[in-house]
Every structure is written in structure tokens, then in C-alpha cells.
Amino acid sequence: RWEKWRKITADRWKLLLPSLVRPFMHWCQQSSYGRLAVSEPVPRDCICGKNAHCVEVTAVYMDHDLTYCECRPLALTLLAMGLFPAMPTRPSVAFSLGHLLFASKLFVHISPNITAWCSTIALNLVEKG
């Protein structure tokens, strides 16, 4: 059963990820790779006639109640907000793209260890105020 769920999730990611490349590049350009806040409006209503869904998504410092439509994946809405979904469908957790970019740079430049990770996080938070 676990193996089946894992394969289904992997297949969903394979379908979703290519559609996120351009929106991610747009976010990178708009936010200067996470250095600037992007205040892109989140679409509330859709007129396509498909079923609308509401989901609560927990991000780093806040929860968001988002309404989304089947015609536009929730992942695209989250990406426009600077968040990356933890699951390809109906995610309840999302991660800050800025933090993910930071973590990817960190792991390229140091060997991952708890002391370096904690020190870097603390320094980054101090710099951001």
C-alpha cells in the first residue's frame, strides 16, 4: 500500500513540476531571487464553472486559507505567493521559496551539519530583522 501511494505521488510530481518552471522563474525575476517581497494578488474567484475548493495551508509564519479552482492548480497559486507546496495535490504545508533557495545555497557550500545549519539560520534571521 505504501509503495502504491509513493508511486502515485511521484507520478503527480512528474506531471506538476514542468508546469511550475515558468512561474518559478517569474517569481525569481519579480523578487530578485527572494530578496524582495512580491505582492502579487491571489485569484479569489474563478468563472470557468469547475468546482472550487478551499484548503488551509501552513507556511513558515502563518496559515493561509486559499480558495482554488480545478482549472488552476493550487501549486501555481502558492508559487505566485512565494511558497512551494509539500505535496503535488491539496498540500496542507508549503515552504518559503526564499528559504528553499537559501538552504540549497547553504548545502552547496558546506557539509551539512547541525551547528553550521543553526548558525546560518540565526545569522539569516538577524539580517532580515
Instruction: Kindly state whether residue 124 falls inside one of the protein's structural domains.
Output: no
- Within a 13 Å sphere around the CA of 8, how many CA atoms are in the beta-carbon half? 6
User: Per residue of the chain (129 residues), what is the pLDDT tens digit?
Assistant: 889 999 999 999 999 999 999 999 998 888 887 777 776 555 556 667 777 777 888 776 677 778 777 788 889 888 988 899 999 988 888 998 988 888 888 777 777 677 877 888 888 878 776
Nearest to 128 by CA among 73, 61, 76, 48: 61
Count of domains observed in the chain:
1
For residue 58, the enclosing domain spans 2-96
- Taking the whole predicted model, whether its pTM rises above 0.75 is answered as no
